[in-house]
Structure 1
Amino acid sequence: MSEAAKIKRASYHLYTFTISKLISTFGSSVYAFGISLYVLALTGSAANFAVNLICSILPRSLLGPLAGYAADNYSKKKLIILSQLGGIAAVSGLLIYSLAFGLSLPAIYTATALVSVFSMFNGVTFSASIANLIDPDRIQKAMGFNQSAVSIAAIGGPVIGGMLFGFVSMNVFLLIEIGAYAIALVLEATMNFRLFTKAAPKTESGEKQSIIQGMKEGVAYMRTNRVIMVIVSTAIGLNFFFSAMMIGLPFIAVQQLKVEATHFGIIESMVAVGMLLASIYFSIRKEVKFPLLFSKRAILVMAVLLAALAFPLVLHMSYKVSVAYFIMLMLSFGLSNVCVNTPIGVMMQKDVDEEYRGRVFGILESMAMAMMPLGYLLFGLLYDLVPAQYVVWGSSICLVILTAYMMRASILKEAYPELGGNVPAKPVL
């Protein structure tokens, strides 16, 4: 295929991938919103809601490395299609069960776990495939489009779900999820996952290393690349301390400052709005020259924003000022979140060798997801035992220390020898 034909095909992938991600994520968002409210309405128990959340998180934590191994050793297109079919089958099974017997908690938990597994295989394989689908010069644009689609779905999904809940049965939510997955499947089946590959085709009959050996090889590869290890380690720490924000925001705003549910919903939605605005920005701007340095500064901004979460408690703001403050804070948090993730994501797409990309992303997904329930548990206990402002301030300081150490000048110099050890004083774009 000529270079011009490849670029044309990559343009098709860029928009097809974005539309597919938008539709599937939107369907998942509507489904997750409806299921969550249904579990709460059915049982009135936060514990049952938490079990459903664990059923979503735990499989991703345990099976991420396996998904990465599969992405590196088998046809990515087949994995994408099979994972979408698996998601359709899981939700369809729940729909059939609902029509026959009515929804029950065990059925919901089982479907949630299965959907999580298939979504994780799909997500890890797609993450390992972006550099194969899109030409190198437009990877940042692709990741910006991808994040825009996720943000739009995150904003629109709960809105549509809230409008539907109480007026239609849960079977309608299941049908929306099935329809979204089916459309995404059709779109993904038209994509060429070997367009820009440099690796030899995977053959089903060829001899493959064992799963354990393959995972060990992936870990060994990461350990030989200090910059990648820094990225993965920082991401794990960031996800852990991000839990302080996730638990702290509702605790401070709703529990301590008595912010109304409607206003709190607006506050939470500002994170997705900020992510959408930043994603659009990255999709149209030139590629970041020093992504690790750029992301380091964005993480430090997030640490400051985390500390600022406690200001309404200590400054005794009025109700309206507190709500407006939280809106701006969450908007800024969404903006900085994408400023961390997008440059690092582009860097990993380009710097991680193709034959290891799936395992690196799989391990990253697994470790990052594992930190979330641990963080939820720890910070949930801390907020009950320690004044909230001390929890967020302590978390902020720890995040600053972690970032300053993991992304110290020697690491930046190793990643970008042209800096010569002199880290620019002003932001590098």
Structure 2
Amino acid sequence: MPSSTAALLRHPGLMPCLVGRNVAAFSSQVQAVAVAWQIYALTHSAAVLGFVGLAQFLPMLLLTLPAGHVADQFDRRRIVLTCQAIEASAALFMAVGSWEGWIAPWALYVLVALFGACRAFEMPAQQTFLPSIVPASLFPQAAALSSSLFQVACIAGPSLGGVLYGLGADVCYALCAVGFGASAIATASLKFKVSERPRQPATLASVLGGISFLKSRPAMLGAISLDLFAVLLGGATALLPVYAYDILHAGPVSLGLLRAGPAMGAVLMAAILTRWPLNRHAGRAMFLAVAIFGMATIVFGISHSIPLSIAALMVLGAADVVSVMVRGALVQLGTPDEMRGRVSAVNMLFIGSSNQLGEFESGMLAAAIGTVPAVVLGGVGTLVVTAVWMRFFPGLRDLDRLNDIKPT
């Protein structure tokens, strides 16, 4: 094991940070599965599943930028701790309501919206922890390790949630309450130096300060917008049920493997980057990764073989991790501490919106021109965007060592 990896694992503040983030992510995944199953069982309406997503997305859309301002004005640990405590209490409330049988669809909508609001405040503050805990020389490996654990949570959470739902929704929600509570305890145990930041009034200029900051940092803006368009255009995963049933003629087990494909590739790549960090030519590696993402999307689009389709999705997920790691290093290491909350909020808003809009775009385009042409066109569009961004963002293209990034 390289000495830098050993030093990373021995770092005293890293494990509480990783536990606080990834156990909460795991609990959110379990909860999402339980809510979807329960509300469908209560209503037998497919439309309500869309409304559940909308109930969580709208508070995040409306509150993320103001939450970034709050993260730059107040104690970020206290913000995250408060949000996780609310999430634990809400999950416990859902468990009791499900156990006693009085929880109704409207209550689930309200609680999901509450979780969306909590996540809007929790995530921008939480994303500032890692660069405050580990030195810049270890940040790329720490980010890769965090990404690996996050992908594991994204794989294990839905799987375990589906299994536990057989025992009842109350069991799932009780597990979520324990998970959010454990995350709160881990967050409370974090110890790192808090920089003195001057308080600013909540003006429009301050709330939108993250956007203004990014406009003056072309490399950072290029990284965020490149990732946004890649996810927006390459949203093949939204069409996996169509591929599984109508193109690959497979059953639900194969659909589960297809859904797990990107996360499996992401875990493998994150493990590789944790052991062998990206030390040179980071900008070119990001552009290459996004180009591979586009090519893997095209291969998946034209594939009629289940093993080839799963392999293409694994490559897609692995390439995405490289892009995410470079973007994360630029955003967190290249941003002054007093701006990290607002810049993280903009980053979260852009990437979160691209996931939602990417699914919408893929579905609408598939309905208009067909499933295979829509996916292939999305992959080609990703390649075109990559070529254009290399031309217009030379600072990102020429980015070399991630641990040399400094706030400007």
Q: 1:69 to 1:242 in 2, by over 3 A?
A: farther
> Could you say which residue in structure 1 is the equivalent of 2:379?
396
Q: Residues 127 and 377 of structure 1: is their aligned pair in 2 closer, same or farther, counting only changes over 3 Å?
A: same
Distance 1:410 1:364, change over 3 A: closer
Matched, 1:348 2:331: yes
TM score, norm. by length of structure 1:
0.85
Task: Decide whether aligned partners of structure 1 residues 408 and 363 sit closer, same or farther in structure 2, where only a CA change above 3 A counts.
Answer: same
Q: Do the aligned residues in 1 keep the contact of 2:220 with 2:327 (CA within 8 Å)? A: no
How far apart in 2 are the matches of 1:342 and 1:282? 9
Q: Please, what is the CA RMSD of the aligned residues?
A: 2.4
Residue matched to 1:423: none
Question: 2:233–2:382: 8 Å Cα contact kept in structure 1?
Answer: yes
1:277, distance to aligned residue in structure 2 (A): 0.9
Q: CA deviation at 1:98?
A: 3.7
Q: What is the Cα deviation at residue 157 of structure 1? A: 1.6
5 Å-filtered alignment, 1:84-123, equals 84-99=84-99, 102-123=102-123
- Greater shift, 378-387 or 267-276, is seen at 378-387
| 2:207 counterpart of 1:180 | no
Q: Per-residue deviation at 1:414?
A: 7.8
Once the two structures are TM-superposed, the CA of residue 409 in structure 1 deviates from its matched residue by 6.9
SS across alignment from 2:323:
helix
Deviation at 1:22, TM superposition (A): 3.1
8 Å Cα contact 1:71/1:359 also seen in 2: yes
TM-score, normalised to structure 2's length?
0.89
| Alignment match, 1:406 | 389
Map 1:265-304 onto structure 2 (within 5 A): 265-304=256-295
Alpha-carbon shift at residue 142 of structure 1 (Å):
1.6
Q: Is the contact between residue 34 and residue 161 of structure 2 (CA under 8 Å) also seen in structure 1?
A: yes
Larger Rg: 1
What is the identity, as a one-letter code, of the residue corresponding to 1:179?
A: V
- 1:364-408 Cα offsets, whole Å, 9 max, x none, are 211222233333333212212212222122212221121211232
- Identical amino acids, percent of aligned pairs: 18
- Residue 330 of structure 1 and its aligned partner are, at CA, apart by 1.6
**Displacement of 1:305 after TM fit?**
0.9
Distance 1:112 1:66, change over 3 A: same
CA distance in 2, matches of 1:201, 1:276: 36
Gaps of 5+ in 1: 1-6, 419-429
What residue is the counterpart of 1:215 in the other structure? 207
| 1:169-198 Cα distance to aligned partner (Å, 9 max, x none) | 21111111110011111111111242xx6x
Residue in structure 2 matched with residue 331 of structure 1 by the alignment: 314
Alignment of 1:356-371 (within 5 A): 356-371=339-354
SS of residue matched to 1:208: coil
The 5-angstrom pairing of residues 104-253 of structure 1 reads: 104-166=104-166, 168-194=167-193, 199-201=195-197, 207-243=199-235, 245-253=236-244
Alpha-carbon separation, structure 2, partners of 1:151 and 1:369:
16
Q: 1:405 to 1:14 in 2, by over 3 A?
A: same
Match of 2:4 in 1: none
**1:6-85 superposed matches below 5 A:** 11-85=11-85
Aligned length: 395
Runs of 4+ deviating beyond 6 Å = 7-10
